[in-house]
Structures are given as structure tokens and as C-alpha cells.
Chain A
Amino acid sequence: MILNMFQSVGEAVFDRFAGVGRASIMLFGALFGIPNFRKGFPLFVKQVYVVGVQSLTIIMVSGLFIGMVLALQGYTVLVDYGAEDSLGPMVGLSLLRELGPVVTGLLFAGRAGSALTAEIGLMKSTEQLSSMEMMAIDPLRRVVAPRFWAGLFCMPLLAIIFSTIGIFGGHLVGVEWLGIDAGNFWSIMQSKVDLVDDVFNGVIKSIVFAIVVTWIALYKGYNAIPTADGISKATTDTVVQASLAVLGLDFVLTVFMFGG
């Protein structure tokens, strides 16, 4: 009984490690081949459109609303202490340091990550990946690599756009609606937000999230069991694991960046 329990725990742990190993081999195979820019670049551009441009709407709308809510909630607290002029830095710092990269990561996992997993899983189940292999074309280079680079390229940009629109949303609510002085809003924000500490660290976070989310999405699709059930599970796994990874890594990164 106890032996069986140990055995099943051991197997589960080994499976996890084997999974990480397989995922690493996949990523290595995709990224460290000899790149062919003539053929690879158009594929990259197409994926930037699919993964990045098509995610713009959800990112911009979410950014706007989160910025507006942040300003509204912040104002109701700050006004009690007569500190409503600090609304600018509060909105700016929250978005640039945390909400921009994190919410973009979560939305990206839901919007683009799940689509990547489902697409690659279906390509596998309809034997498109196998047929590519038989045509002597490596699906890791042709299918996985451009999607990975596109994810890595797009997510930091999306996070910056998210934060920018969010700050604009904060301005709409704080200045235009609640009547905070526009000069105070912008100038205090400018003096409190540091380019390296806040903006760059936020971008670094979003680069880390981009790697993790895209990697999980591609691996789950590439390794999906090629049935309807398998692909549905892979897609769910992508969203759940990528979201948890974003939140967990955010804590770790925050400790390193702002903890000391």
C-alpha cells in the first residue's frame, strides 16, 4: 500500500521531469538550428500578425478598463487623506510594474496561447506535422520556431501598450472625470516613475512571461494526444499552467526586483 503510494508519487515526479526534458529538447531543436531568414522571416511576420496584432483589441480594451478602475478605486482611498494628487504615480507604478506584464501574460495565455496549442495539436492529429517530416521539412523549424519568436517579440510590446492605454484610462477617470489637476497628475507621475527600475523591470517581466507562456503553449500542442479529448485537455493545460506560471514567476521576479 505505502509502497504503491511511493511508486505512484515517484512515477508522477519522473513524468514531470521527463516532460520538462522533452519540452527543452523541443525548444532547443526549434531555436538552435541554422536559421534561414529568406524563408523564416515571412513566417515570423505572419505569426506576429496572428499572435500579436490579433490580440491588440483585447489588450487595449482590458488596459483601458483596468486603468480606469484603478484610478477610481485609488481616488476613493487617497481622497480621504487628501492625497489624491498621488493618483498619477499610483496608477503608473501599478501598471508598469505589475498589472501591465501580468495581466498581459494572463490574457496572452488565454487568447494566443490556447490558440497556438489547439492549432499545433490539430496539425498533429491531422498528420500535417508527420507529412511535413516526411517531406524532409522539420516541423520544429517550420511550425514551432516562428511562433515562439513571434510570441517573444509581441508580448513585451503588448504589455507596453497595455500599460500606456491603462495610464490613459487612469487619466480619463482621475483628471477628466474626478477633476484632479492634470499638471499634478502627470508631473508627480513623471518624478516618481523611474525608467530603469519601473519601466525596464516591467519589460523584463513581460519578456520572461512571454518565454514561459509561448513555450508552454507550443509544447502542449506539440505533445498533445492527437484526439479531440487530448487536444481539449492540452488547451486547458496551456491556459491553467501558463497562468499559474505567470503569477508564480511574477512573485519571484518582484522579490528580486523590488524586494530589497
Chain B
Amino acid sequence: MPESIPQYSVEIEQLSFSRGDRPIYTDINMRFPKGKVTAIMGPSGIGKTTLLRLIGGQIKPDSGSIVFRGHNIPTLGRKKLYQVRQDMSMLFQSGALFTDMSVFDNVAFAIREHTKLPEDIIRTMVLLKLEAVGLRGARDLMPHELSGGMARRAALARAIALDPKLIMYDEPFAGQDPISMGVIVRLIKQLNDSLGLTSIVVSHDVPEVMSIADYVYIIADQRVIGKGTPKELLINESPLVQQFMQGLPDGPVPFHYKAEDYHCELLGGIK
């Protein structure tokens, strides 16, 4: 995609958000190109999931705009927001399958809610989606009968049920064994390319993300500290970016939580 034609699915500008007195983001700017996999990485607890919820309109920012396909999400009324959400989808960390429904009904859920299609067409649609994630044979199982990896794949099938334009993955690799991690990595890339989706992947699994992302943002300290293609980031000179990419325990992000002087505390104030 030439740089001169800005084709972005989501554009975030001057976004600030705080939780109580604690600022999470201060004036951040991000752009997510159409049809690409963009990753958001950063240490735990800096609000990566919060960013996805902001894009999805589940929470409102203090200031700034989040434009998705021409709609500024924070300004939308409830009805319009629900309309816009039909074009986006999110894969939650836990999978968030509905526990009282089978895998088939989970995938069919959104189709049944939003369309008036006859059951035989819904069946075909659901089986196509389940085939894409390799779970056509597991359609009659209940969520508690699935392994962690299968549950996430089933949730993925549900997330693509209505062919969204944007799909957001919240820590898709967390807690997965190497095999299912590989499967999910491949699925994210495959689905993105074959369905022409825009994908946003929030994760802190560096190698997995680097293998599929077209563009990467690294967030820390309430702002974007590094961005670029995976190759660009590997040679980024910022010590903070390098600490994160190489997984070093201490550096600009300190190993120790803020505390008073160690010696001072142990010796009861005697230096």
C-alpha cells in the first residue's frame, strides 16, 4: 500500500484516558491500516485491553477521537454505536463463549440475532466458519468440554461469524501450549489475508507477534514508545524498546516496584 494513500481502518488521535486519578493514556496517536495485521505490544498492566475497549466503544475516553470507518466512536449514540459494532469483532482473552450453548449455537448466536436467515443457511454458514478453525467436528460440544486452545478457536469462529471488517484480538496467545499457539498464529494471519480483515492483535508474546504483524506499536508509560514494521523495531535504538523486545528483566522499566531505599528500610532508618 503506497504511503501517499492513507487507508486506515481505525485512526486514534490525541487520545487521553484515565482511570480515577491514574492516567492510562496521554495524547496517543495510532493508525491501523486496512487489510493488515497491526500489533500492540507492551508490558502487562499498561492498558492494552483498555485500548481495545475504547475502540469498541465500551468505555469512553477523556478526550481525543477514535475514528472507525468514518465514525468517531466516542461521540456515537447508543443505537449508532450498536450499528457500527456489527462491523467489528473482538476475541476475548478468555474466549467468553456462552457457557449454556453448544459450540454450534455460540457461532450461530450473532447470525441468529442480527439476521432473519433460515436455519439451513445458518447451518451452512456456521459449518464454514467452524471448518476454517478446524472445529467442524466439535460443533455439538459444550464450552466446558473444550480445551483452552479449542475454546479460543471456537471463539474465533464466533468472532468471524458475521464477516466483520475489523477484528481485535485480546492476548490471543496467552496460556496456550506451543501447538495451539502455532495454530492460532497461523489462523490470525490466514483469516486476515483470506477475508480481507483488518486485525489488531494485543499481545506481549514478542516472537509470535513479530512473525505475523505488518506493523507494531509498543506502548509504555501512557504513550507509544516505539512503532514500525517488525524489522524496524528490531534495530530501534530506544533502550525501552530493546528492553521489551529482548525481555530484559531490568532497564528503563525497573524490576523493582517503587519503594523507599532498601538499606534504609531494612536498617530501620540507620544509613
Contact = CB atoms under 8 A, between A and B. Distances in A.
Chain B residues touching A, majority SS: mixed
A138 B89 CA distance: 15
Contacts of A142: 113
Nearest to A138: B82
Interface residues of B, number: 24
Nearest to B92: A127
B99 A131 contact: no
A128 B96 contact: yes
A128 B109 CA distance: 12
A133 interface: yes
A142 B114 CA distance: 13
Contacts of B97: 128
A39 B53 CA distance: 28
Given A127-B96, A128-B96, A137 B90 contact: no
Interface in B51-96: 53, 56, 58, 82-83, 85-86, 88-90, 92-94, 96
A128 B114 contact: no
Contacts, number: 48
A2 B96 CA distance: 48
B200 to A, nearest CB: 13
B89 A134 contact: yes
Given A126-B99, A127-B96, A128-B99, A134 B83 contact: no
Interface in A67-87: none
Contacts of A138: 82
A130 interface: yes
B58 A130 contact: yes
A142 to B, nearest CB: 8
How big is the A interface, by class? 10 to 19
B96 A135 contact: no
Contacts of A128: 96-99
Contacts of A195: none
B74 to A, nearest CB: 15
Contacts of A136: 82-83, 85-86, 110, 114
A131 B113 contact: no
Given A130-B58, A131-B90, A137 B110 contact: yes
Contacts of B96: 126-128, 130-131
Contacts of B88: 134
Nearest to A38: B116
Contacts of A134: 56, 58, 85, 88-90
B36 to A, nearest CB: 21
Contacts of A39: 112-113
Interface string B112-136: 1110000000000000000000000
B109 A133 contact: no
A131 B11 CA distance: 22
B105 to A, nearest CB: 13
Contacts of B86: 136
Interface in A95-154: 126-128, 130-131, 133-138, 142
Contacts of B82: 136, 138
Contacts of A127: 92-94, 96
Nearest to B56: A134
A136 B88 CA distance: 9
Given A136-B114, A138-B82, 13 more contacts: A39-B112, A127-B92, A127-B96, A131-B155, A133-B58, A133-B85, A134-B88, A135-B109, A135-B110, A135-B113, A136-B82, A136-B85, A137-B110
19 contacts: A39-B113, A127-B92, A127-B94, A128-B97, A130-B53, A130-B58, A130-B96, A131-B90, A131-B92, A131-B96, A133-B56, A133-B85, A134-B85, A135-B85, A135-B89, A135-B113, A135-B162, A136-B85, A137-B109
Closest 10 CB pairs of A and B: A127-B96, A136-B85, A131-B96, A134-B90, A127-B92, A136-B82, A135-B110, A136-B86, A137-B113, A128-B96
